[in-house]
Chain A
Amino acid sequence: MDQRVPILKIGGVLLVSIQIDLQDQSVLALQEDLAEKISATGAHGVVIDISAVEIVDSFIGRMFATIASISRLFDADTVVVGMRPAVAITLVELGLTLGGVRTALDLERGMKILEQLRTRDA
């Protein structure tokens, strides 16, 4: 059951597409893998695609904030894309607002946001 979430590199952006029902170990492993990958590649952005994710509980929600904080240390931005309406409603009810994490409707828009942030910084 120890599944690792693959991390793809597209240009200067790391893409994490979550396609499995995440268990806590996989969440922790992903955080570690991402930190290493950002530092190794010097990526300027991270996109986490959760359009296939059916539930986000506080543990997974906290992961987004943690990943955003880690990438910031490496001067990279994080965008969470594709959150389903039911998941968003549930997170609000749960009391998680993911302060500080950028969001976008889909992958394309997420990439665009990262691009804009990069050109602004440059």
Chain B
Amino acid sequence: MTADAERAQTLTDLLRANSEPLIDQWVSAVAALLRGRSTRVELEADFKEFFAALLPLVGRDGKDTGGPEFAEIRSLLEEYSRTRVRAGFTPSETAASVFSLKRQVFDLTENSDDPQMFRQLMAFSGLLDALGLLTFEFYARARDEIIREQSEQLLELTTPVVKIWEGVLAVPLVGTLDSARTQVVMEKLLEALVETGSEHAIIDITGVFAVDTQVAQHLLKTVVAARLMGAECIVSGIRPQIAQTIVALGIEFGDIVTKASLADALRHALRREGVDVVRREAQ
């Protein structure tokens, strides 16, 4: 055990003694790889931190990167991968930043014929492999986050809640409704009822091609929730196929107001608001 520890020390010592030229070459190699998309100054700042966090880990083989000793390097790599994703680098380019160090260290120890050193190098190589793979994971996770954010933004854009009259809101739903989307839209609608002080909301599903049980349930729940808040929802534009589905699924629409078209729904809402729409006599 003590002997092993001493041996491990030798590579650590070598790395520590040569840290400046090593980092410098490492930065050069990666800067060349990234063809100027990262400045040397940026890379140097990042790599100095990596190197400092890496030194105490030399001698480990990287099989336990989830452990507490790896916490610092993990968070550094996570941050690095995250900024790479945002900056549009590929996962390979990101991982290569880590792998490149291997080459510099091999060059440094080229002339050593010490079998102990060789063993340590093998372990070090395994360690860097593990850390490089970690960047892949962090990269993928960061990208998932971005995709999720974007799909949420898209959702906001594609489902506007509009005020079409004093006290009357409308949500035109278009496309395929899945359960998650319906839920978001419905929450947004209820919020808008409070914000605008509207007592009527028209949910127009003319542009919806299919409704499954869950979506129909969400629609129903929204109508009931609106009622608890003191507002009334009108569902308009139910296509014949959807009407059939609803009946076939055995979903009770009960006393919920449904209208054939958005225009009919608006007329109904206006009447409830105490507004009569009359055509002027031709002059």
A→B interface (CB under 8 Å):
81, 83-85, 88-89, 91-93, 97-98, 103-106, 109-110
Given A91-B225, A92-B221, A84-B230 contact (CB < 8 Å): no
> How many interface residues does chain B have, given as a range?
10 to 19
Known pairs A92-B224, A93-B221, A106-B230. 14 more at Cβ < 8 A?
A: A83-B229, A85-B191, A85-B193, A85-B194, A85-B225, A88-B228, A88-B229, A89-B187, A91-B228, A92-B221, A105-B198, A105-B229, A105-B230, A109-B199
Task: Determine which of B198, B199, B227, B229 lies in contact with A85 in the assembled complex, contact meaning CB atoms within 8 Å.
Answer: B229
Chain B, residues 222-244, CB within 8 Å of chain A (1/0): the string is 00111111110000000000000
Given A92-B221, A93-B221, A103-B228 contact (CB < 8 Å): yes
CA of A85 to CA of B191, assembled, Å: 6
19 example contacts (A-B, Cβ-Cβ < 8 A) are as follows A83-B228, A83-B229, A84-B194, A85-B190, A85-B229, A88-B190, A88-B229, A89-B186, A89-B225, A91-B228, A92-B224, A97-B228, A103-B230, A104-B230, A105-B193, A105-B198, A105-B230, A106-B197, A109-B230
Which of B224, B226, B227, B230 is packed against the most chain A CB atoms within 10 Å?
A: B230
Q: Which residues 200-237 of B have a CB within 8 angstroms of A? A: 221, 224-231
Cross-chain contact B199 with A88 (CB below 8 angstroms): no
Query: Can you name the residue of chain B whose Cβ is closest to the Cβ of A104?
Result: B230
Cross-chain contact A89 with B230 (CB below 8 angstroms): no
CA of A88 to CA of B193, assembled, Å: 12
Query: Can you name the residue of chain A whose Cβ is closest to the Cβ of B198?
Result: A105
Cross-chain contact B187 with A105 (CB below 8 angstroms): no
CA of A92 to CA of B226, assembled, Å: 10
CA of A88 to CA of B191, assembled, Å: 11
Smallest CB–CB gap between B77 and chain A, Å?
Answer: 38
Query: Can you name the residue of chain A whose Cβ is closest to the Cβ of B223?
Result: A92
Cross-chain contact A103 with B224 (CB below 8 angstroms): no
CA of A110 to CA of B199, assembled, Å: 12
In the assembled complex, which residues on chain B have CB atoms less than 8 Å from the CB atom of A97?
Answer: 224, 228
In the assembled complex, which residues on chain B have CB atoms less than 8 Å from the CB atom of A89?
Answer: 186-187, 190, 221, 225
CA of A106 to CA of B190, assembled, Å: 14
Chain B, residues 93-121, CB within 8 Å of chain A (1/0): the string is 00000000000000000000000000000
Smallest CB–CB gap between A38 and chain B, Å?
Answer: 22
Smallest CB–CB gap between B220 and chain A, Å?
Answer: 9
Smallest CB–CB gap between A91 and chain B, Å?
Answer: 6
9 smallest A-B Cβ distances: which pairs? A85-B190, A104-B230, A88-B225, A103-B230, A88-B228, A105-B230, A92-B221, A92-B225, A83-B229
CA of A39 to CA of B256, assembled, Å: 36
Q: Which residues 64-87 of B have a CB within 8 angstroms of A? A: none
Query: Can you name the residue of chain A whose Cβ is closest to the Cβ of B195?
Result: A85
CA of A83 to CA of B228, assembled, Å: 7
CA of A46 to CA of B229, assembled, Å: 17
In the assembled complex, which residues on chain A have CB atoms less than 8 Å from the CB atom of B221?
Answer: 89, 92-93
CA of A27 to CA of B194, assembled, Å: 26
Cross-chain contact B229 with A103 (CB below 8 angstroms): yes
In the assembled complex, which residues on chain A have CB atoms less than 8 Å from the CB atom of B229?
Answer: 83-85, 88, 103, 105
In the assembled complex, which residues on chain A have CB atoms less than 8 Å from the CB atom of B228?
Answer: 83, 88, 91-92, 97-98, 103
Q: Which residues 167-203 of B have a CB within 8 angstroms of A? A: 186-187, 190-191, 193-194, 197-199
Smallest CB–CB gap between B163 and chain A, Å?
Answer: 14
Cross-chain contact A105 with B224 (CB below 8 angstroms): no
Given A91-B225, A92-B228, A93-B221, A105-B190 contact (CB < 8 Å): no
